[in-house]
Amino acid sequence: MVKKMKFRLAFIGFGVVGQGFADILLKKEHELKDRYGFEYEVVAISDMKLGSVYDEDGLDLSRVMNMVNQGDRLEDYPTGIKGWDPLKTIKESNADTIIEVTYTDMKTGGPALEHVRTALKAGKHVVSTNKGPVANAAKELMELADRNGVKYRFEGTVVSGTPTINLAWETLAGCEIKEIKGILNGTTNYILSKMEEGMEYEDALKKAQELGYAEADPTGDVEGIDAQGKVLILSNTVMGADMELEDVAREGITGISLQDVEEAKKEGHRWKLIGSTKKTEGGIEASVGPEKIPMDHPLAGVMGPTNALTFTTDLLGDVTIIGPGAGKMETGFSLLVDLLAINGAMEG
């Protein structure tokens, strides 16, 4: 196996997704080294709730995870510098790769946008699951990465680790993608599936929250804003558009009643919240809204929190991918696959 660089990682944010990724790194450490020549050390973690720690010689990640699992703060770690905020950690630590997994602010990009910008300007790779920066500034950030000779990858921003962006960029390279269309939000698909079993909307939403599918504020899910962000990201990073959130027409599922679901069923249809972005003569058209899908359509069979996307291409026709759209391990995996892609691109 070719010897690659040893990644020095800094986590900005260490919530469910960051911890899920840390678990994967620990569990697969030897396998990743043997199969891909991938080696890492975590030098810094800076989190709004847990505090921060930086040690230029690397942290013992198992120890960090044990501490976090028993409710300790990062400041309780025995060595290293404490109290650095995200920007100081990004600029002044010796990390070469930033794992940006803070909370998403779709409207402005939030502090995450500045984290990504600062890291790329400092010549550090960024892997991130944060939709905010990509939704607000994909073009600027991708150009910034190019200019600084580093990578910015964000597979997890669209339906967690289920391949979408990397699928389009790499596996479907050479194809013209004419349209991407599908189910991009697990919460709403779960609610509609439960309503078909006769459950009231409110009860189904409550259950989706209990199961952890819905965002902290589920308005983003049920009003279609989460799916709108994903359609925007696909439009700008895969379809070559330069759109803003408002350019993606949006309608959620709050107007669909139990009666509508029942009526559709009798007609041999199913309501689905469908996101799409397609090439037209007038440019890229993108939207999110409820559609009545015939029962024999592949997307009609996608039930519960599962997501699915069909890529319509010139060389292959339709390619459909079905998989999870959220979850600790599933989103953690997206960070791993992005890091392995960077590792593969490095000189041996």
Q: What residues act catalytically?
A: 230
100 binds ligand HSE, rule: CB under 6 A: no
Helices (H) and strands (E) counted in the chain, each on its own, are: 13, 13
Q: Which is nearer to ligand HSE, 80 or 161 (CB)?
A: 161
Q: Does 325 bind ligand HSE (CB under 6 A)?
A: yes
Shortest CB 182 distance to ligand HSE, Å: 12
Of 17, 9, 290, 26, nearest to 157 (Cα)? 17
Q: Report 208-237 residues binding ligand HSE (CB under 6 A).
A: 213-215, 221, 226
Coil vs helix vs strand at 93:
coil
Nearest distance from residue 186's CB to ligand HSE, in Å?
4
> ∠ CA 299-300-306 to the nearest 5 degrees?
65
Q: What is the rounded distance in angstroms from the CA atom of residue 311 to the CA atom of residue 47?
A: 37
The alpha-helical segments, DSSP class H, found in 158-267 are 165-166, 186-196, 201-210, 219-222, 225-237, 258-266
- Contact between 186 and ligand HSE by CB under 6 A: the answer reads yes
Provide the minimum distance between the beta carbon of 218 and ligand HSE in the complex, in angstroms, as a whole number: 8
- Torsion sign (Cα): 204, 210, 215, 219: positive
* Sequence-separated (6 or more) residues with CB below 8 Å from residue 280: none
Judged by CB under 6 A, the number of residues near ligand HSE is: 10
Least distance between ligand HSE and beta carbon 273 (Å): 10
Q: Binding residue for ligand HSE (CB under 6 A) from 326, 335, 336, 339?
A: 326
- Annotate each residue in 53-92 with x if it binds ligand HSE (CB under 6 A) or - if it does not, as one string: ----------------------------------------
DSSP code of residue 124:
-
CB of 15 to ligand HSE, least distance (A): 13
| Other residues' Cβ atoms within 10 Å of the Cβ of residue 133 | 29
Question: Which of 89/185 has CB closer to ligand HSE?
Answer: 185
Binding residues (CB under 6 A) for ligand HSE: these are 185-187, 213-215, 221, 226, 325-326
